[in-house]
Structure 1
């Protein structure tokens, strides 16, 4: 028995390190001799979910639930995996099972609201469960803040501001609420209020990177890049590879006319569009792209965008390489040839892209986005990346108008509000089966399109090895 306990303990240690594959192997070994260990099944399902094996996670937990497992954390893991395999009704019921015993669980409330929003695109329905919980638990300030933040994610920024104003007053103007209140004020153009609240919050939480980044955004909105630079440089001493900080520093340099901006945002050197490779099992790129397109189309089942990401009016699959679809699983291999071509073309240098370049890299994460009519990505960066990419599978057709860039990838336009406003500096026309590489700190988004079609892409981040 002690040997079995050691297996579980070791598996959990691997989980903490992020090595879910080893943890899964150990937990399966344990369950082979202890098939009724529901706690081990919970941990196995959670690990499977973390690597995208949601179908297997559902099978593991369904078996345990049928045999009496009835803990809220397990129902939450179950709900997440059900949502990922497009079992909408079952996922909703699983989330409600969690909330029946833990109605103030912010994670479950957020994920259920997101699931309803992605499936139906209905603002009121998405917030209905959260609104009911708030009415029954009026002192649950975390739920009120969550409701406000989700309103913003569904692009109702006035409602977000109104709710946070109420939270702010009810909390006796706590510094933690000031941070959220400041973000809401910034989103509706109340820049003076936003900056005041941000500076107060930053003094209360001097080491909080999110608070610091938001304060920088307020400085840029007020056209104070010279005040933002020392704050960014201080944060970079403790977060030297944070791509968001690098992007903000570059933006300040651009506003201040600092020549270092050109070194970091060298589009000719750092942005390349290359053909995707052909994985084993396919004769040519066209046949692979056709299969990849079919797999992605089947996987994209939701109508609206997930929360706290860059997508607007479209759906996102959080991970494709863990899919059971062969073409989606093969994307890692398809990236290898163009990735190596890109890396071979880089030289040495001091920019954040070049000084970390070892000549080789591995895929860190990959996901797919399907944008509908008027859909787009807001300008953003990939905070934990190093090298990012966008592979175009299907795209909107531009008109004969020479200036029409509908659906194109745009680079260089900041996601933060800037005064003066900075425009995109480079546009890339999507080409089917081509992958565009660029530094993860480079601001990027897409131009909205009005054509009655959709835009299908696979995005990926890479880390040097």
Structure 2
């Protein structure tokens, strides 16, 4: 192995580039340029030297095209490499990432699993496998391949950060902490990592340490909204400090106006400051929370038939699990994305959601949040099946723009004689010490009712006691 190849394998890309140029090794030079993200130079060189016989260069070209956002070209390059060598791990990894970028998570995951099996000691293969398991919502399974990536390259900060993210997502904050610290040690100037460490420390109740890390993150990354948002949540977890929390939210919104979390925490801060009129105007619940009764979608003639089909599909869904990790469901079951099924009831559900959201956005388009509503969207819908005593904890949907819920089966006890089983909007978690007189809005679920709302609005449900199940389908509409 030449000095250039050794430096490339060790991820010393600047050194690899210099050695390759000195030795006239255009192949390693191109690979190093891709890794250094010197895209124009890499593009010119790969165009000059790529040949049909070199699967490695085709894989590098696929990487380059993906970084450039040219997913179709990236897929073609990966396919070309695999046509010459079906076991080319780099090409499998690249095709997995391209397919995931195109929304084909299952096929991407199959490539990633094969690459990880072929190269158990290759960190990149294990990392992509873990990343796609997370995308497939198999969070617990994702941790092991990410640990293998870290074991293969313990000094590589991005693998540590990926593992820390997965552990935090699984609510294993104590395990995430040393991984965040190792990622920071590998890249001390990364302010975002400080903000992420701060969030884990806050979850562990170590608020003073969390505050120090969040402030360090703000100093290191003044244009990243995550550290000020993390600091805002830490400050709101204390009895005072709401004024500075509000300033942090405003800073985050100036950096990222589309941050659902920033909008949500701003509402919390206004409540905590006793500025209830301002909070009510900010949340705009009377206008933005819209209950409606959409028409029965084809091919169903009766709503009861549509609902029976939905219940049967939900009960048959293999992802239906009791209180899944990292969810807000208590005393109940929850599925993953129902819209992955190409069955009449779920195809009809998708059309129902998209039609209702289109009309909703048209009605509220003048609100600042919806002026940035994306032209192309994706929809994710999941069922929640609550048993007696079941409820949803306070939460928001930070990755979406519009969220909603459609009620499929509602126990008789969920009536207008009380709030058992109702949904409430506007009240944040007790962690933030919300005042009792802060503005809220409550709605009674009814079979066939759909409720649409902005994804940044805190909401929860009240428990109920009944022999019947409370079955609803929640959904998120996101850019994509």
Is the TM value for this pair above 0.5?
A: yes
When residues 246 and 392 of structure 1 are mapped into structure 2, their CA distance, relative to the original with a 3 A threshold, is: same
C-alpha distance in 2 between matches for 1:455 and 1:148: 31
> In structure 1, which of residues 429, 432, 440 is the aligned counterpart of residue 444 of structure 2?
429
Q: Which residue is 2:282 aligned to?
A: 264
Show the 5 A alignment for 1:422-461: 422=436, 425-449=440-464, 451=466, 454-461=469-476
2:246 counterpart residue number: 229
1:409 is matched with which residue? Answer: 423
Q: Are 2:364 and 1:346 aligned?
A: yes
Equivalent of 2:413 in 398, 416, 440 = 398
Cα gap change, 1:203 to 1:7, in 2 (>3 Å):
closer
Aligned pair partner of 2:255 in 238, 252, 263: 238
Q: Which sections of structure 2, spanning at least 5 residues, go unmatched?
A: 1-49
In 2, the alpha carbon distance for the partners of 1:451 and 1:103 equals 50
Deviates more, 1:410-419 or 1:448-457: 448-457
Alpha-carbon RMSD across the aligned residues, in angstroms, is 5.1
Using the size of structure 2 for normalisation, the TM-score is: 0.65
Matched, 1:36 2:86: yes
1:425 Cα deviation (Å)? 0.8
Verify the 8 A CA contact 1:306 1:315 in the aligned structure 2: no
Q: Are the aligned partners of 1:164 and 1:184 in contact in 2 as well (CA < 8 Å)?
A: yes
Q: Aligned equivalents of 2:356 and 2:222: distance in 1?
A: 42
Matches within 5 A, 1:14-33: 15-16=66-67, 22=72, 26=76, 30=80, 33=83
Aligned to 2:232: 216
Closer/same/farther in 2, CA of residues 452 and 305 from structure 1, 3 Å limit: farther
CA distance in 2, matches of 1:30, 1:141: 32
Instruction: Work out whether residues 293 and 448 of structure 2, in 8 Å CA contact, stay in contact via their aligned partners in 1.
Output: yes
> Counterpart of 2:435 in 1: which secondary structure?
coil
Q: Deviations over 1:376-405 (max 9, x none)?
A: 433232334332222233455536782232
Aligned to 1:305: 324
Shift of 1:242: 1.0
Corresponding residue number in structure 1 for 2:30 = none
Matched position secondary structure for 1:364 = strand
Separation in structure 2 between the aligned mates of residue 463 and residue 87 of structure 1, nearest angstrom: 21
Q: 1:212-250: per-residue Cα shift (whole Å, max 9, x none)?
A: 112212332323322222222222221112121122223
- Residue in structure 2 matched with residue 115 of structure 1 by the alignment: none
**How many residues in Structure 1 have an aligned counterpart in Structure 2?**
412
Higher alpha-carbon deviation: 37-46 or 436-445: 37-46
1:91-149 per-residue CA deviation (whole Å, 9 max, x = no partner) reads 96x9757756754889xxxxxxxxxxxxxxxxxxxxxxxxxxxxxxxxx9989978985
Secondary structure at the counterpart of residue 345 of structure 1: helix
Q: 1:247 to 1:17 in 2, by over 3 A?
A: farther
Alignment match, 2:477: 462
- Distance change (3 Å), C-alpha of 1:199 and 1:42: closer
Q: Secondary structure in 1 aligned to 2:354? A: helix
Partners of 2:314 and 2:474 lie apart in 1 by 12
Q: How does 1:89-100 map to 2 (within 5 A)?
A: 99=147
Residue 291 in 1 paired to residue 319 in 2? no
Scaled by the length of structure 1, what TM-score is found?
0.67
**3-state DSSP of counterpart to 1:381:** coil
On the 8 A contact 2:350/2:379 being kept in 1, the answer is: no
In the superposition, relative to structure 1, how do residues 413 and 77 fare at CA in structure 2: closer, same or farther (>3 Å)? same
Would the aligned equivalents of 2:95 and 2:108 in 1 still touch at CA under 8 Å? yes
Moved more, 321-330 or 78-87: 78-87
Aligned partners of 2:457 and 2:52: how far apart in 1? 50
Q: Which has the larger radius of gyration?
A: 2
- Higher mean displacement: 259-268 or 199-208: 199-208
Deviation at 1:10, TM superposition (A): 7.2
- Offset from partner CA, 1:26-68 (integer Å, 9 cap, x none): 47964795472544344334444556645544665677789x5
Query: SS at 2:452's partner residue?
Result: strand
| Contact map agreement 2:195 2:213 (CA 8 A) in 1 | yes
Whether the 8 Å contact between 1:364 and 1:460 is mirrored in structure 2 is no
